[in-house]
A = this chain, B = another copy of it.
Amino acid sequence: MSSYPGLTEGVLFTDQYQLTMAQLYFERGLHERPAQFDYFFRRYPDYGRHQAGYAVFAGLDPLLDWMDRIRFTDADLDLLRDQRNEAGIRRFGDEFLDWLGDHGGFDDVIINAIPEGRVVHANVPIAIVEGPLALLQILETALLNHLNYPTLIATKASRIHEAAGGRPALEFGMRRGPSFGANAGGRAALIGGADFTSNVGVSHEMEIDPKGTHAHSMVQVFMALGEGELEAFRAYAAVYPDDCILLVDTIDTLDSGIPNAIEVFRELRASGHEPVGIRLDSGDLAYLSIEAADMLDAAGFTEVAIVLSGNLDELEIWQIRAQILDEFARAGRDPSGLMDRLIYGVGTRLITSQGHEALDGVYKLVALQTNGEWVPAIKVSDTPEKVPIPGKKQIWRLYDGRGRATADVVGLADETLTNGEIVLHHPHREGVSRRIELENITEIEDLLVEVFRSGKRVTAKSTLDEMRQRRVTDLERLDAGVRRLVNPHIYHVSLTERMKQLQMRLIEEARG
């Protein structure tokens, strides 16, 4: 049996053990047993010299699209039918495969999730998935894959957005991105804080304008033709008189690139068009941007933007801005003119989340129905951080008198937070708790929304603007300390008293 188009992006986009476990459940009559798995991550990205204090959730809509579309096709089942073990015996039985063919969409799966684009926190379930045990098991790999990487990239993009201090940030990374994963990365970057991307397909899909002007190769072409940088710039300005951003570092930024750009900008202005910008792609970007701004100002181009690129990430952007501020302070000059003309192009370090390459998101069994009753499930571990929050649950975000988010709280499904005082427990550390007077809480927000039922999404697909607005709103309501790029404050994630008791009881029972 050979491959077929789409084989690797269909329902067989999964780990083999999901299928072997599903068959075991089938053999034991457990395959349609209602179960609940929670998706959450345990640790915020730590990039080495800087760390995240929050994450931005992304990847949900593509996951729901995939689930909407995906079924076990005859071709998939034929491939599984042909799998044989070392002894030459077929690995998957016909009855199990027939069941997959009949039931192996996600028709009976329900997902409640925090909406895409929102700020999310460690240990808090972001997606809660309910449905037949065997199908939830098969879904695990695709779910984790669809959510982990985009959330990682959206988080990085949000940090880059914060570092850029209100100036635009562009995503440029597809050439070094992980194969077609670069599309998911580009989309996540747009949700998380990149204003635009160079990725043409993703831009059109997300209905925004793709960004890009020219590369060094264009200047090289004119050089190979016996012409030069000036003629290359003139050619570019002639074709794009209203979008003229010139890359000035092909030969020498200060001695060749900027003087040539200024000459072309003068010609452009004389012909009735205003130039848009220059791009610096190498060298000491803080120093060069100051020099470039002075040269452009002296030539009368005070509005021309300066796009910076070349191995940027949030820390580099932050340091470039700090260097410029220092330099201007020393000279007694006002830096705002320069700061307000900078634009940041970010490539490899965003699309690969450099320094923290993978979100540690997991999908854990937390409840199983037995005789019509939900039984909470737990996995004990020698590492307390690895013990999940068991059972059916609710998730609230509490806002204080300043309107700031003060804690995410996980409670039992039948709880309400209406008493005068609530005790909140650390999710893993025993004995660590705090009390909150509910009169000091101005809002209790239920974070989960039903997004998938009966094989279909039940909420409209979010637009990019909606997802971005969720992030902006959540960030405004987050403490500045938690948003810090380096050594952020720890956001409170807590269990209610009753949830903590359930967790501890189950741990004791499991340990016997």
Contact assessment for A202 and B8 in the assembled complex, using a CB-CB cutoff below 8 Å: yes
One complex includes copies of this chain to the number of 2
Q: How many residues of A contact B (CB 8 A)?
A: 120
Interface residues of A in 492-507 (CB under 8 A from B): none
Q: What is the bound-complex CA distance between A19 and B218, given in angstroms?
A: 12
Q: Which of A141, A181, A226, A354 has the most CB of B within 10 A?
A: A181
Contact assessment for A16 and B183 in the assembled complex, using a CB-CB cutoff below 8 Å: no
Given A377-B220, A379-B250, decide whether A212 and B181 contact each other with a Cβ distance below 8 A: no
Q: Which of A23, A174, A201, A207 has the most CB of B within 10 A?
A: A201
Given A86-B242, A175-B141, decide whether A16 and B200 contact each other with a Cβ distance below 8 A: yes
Residues of B within 8 A of A133 (CB): 221
A508 at the interface (CB under 8 A from B): no
Contact assessment for B140 and A175 in the assembled complex, using a CB-CB cutoff below 8 Å: yes
Contact assessment for B145 and A220 in the assembled complex, using a CB-CB cutoff below 8 Å: no
Q: With both chains docked as a complex, state the minimum distance between the C-beta of A138 and any C-beta of chain B, in angstroms.
A: 10
A205 at the interface (CB under 8 A from B): yes
Interface residues of A in 6-21 (CB under 8 A from B): 7-10, 12-21
Residues of B within 8 A of A205 (CB): 3, 7-8
Contact assessment for A382 and B198 in the assembled complex, using a CB-CB cutoff below 8 Å: no
Pick out which of these stretches binds chain B: A25-33, A100-108, A257-265, A424-432.
Answer: A25-33
A83 at the interface (CB under 8 A from B): yes
Residues of B within 8 A of A8 (CB): 180, 183, 199, 201-202, 205
Contact assessment for B179 and A149 in the assembled complex, using a CB-CB cutoff below 8 Å: yes
A236 at the interface (CB under 8 A from B): yes
Query: Which 4 pairs, one residue from A and one from B, show the smallest C-beta to C-beta distance?
Result: A181-B181, A16-B212, A17-B212, A178-B181
Contact assessment for B357 and A217 in the assembled complex, using a CB-CB cutoff below 8 Å: no
Contact assessment for A179 and B185 in the assembled complex, using a CB-CB cutoff below 8 Å: yes
Q: What is the bound-complex CA distance between A43 and B377, given in angstroms?
A: 48
13 contacts between A and B (CB under 8 A): A12-B200, A12-B204, A13-B199, A24-B240, A28-B235, A35-B221, A59-B179, A145-B176, A145-B182, A176-B359, A177-B181, A220-B378, A348-B358
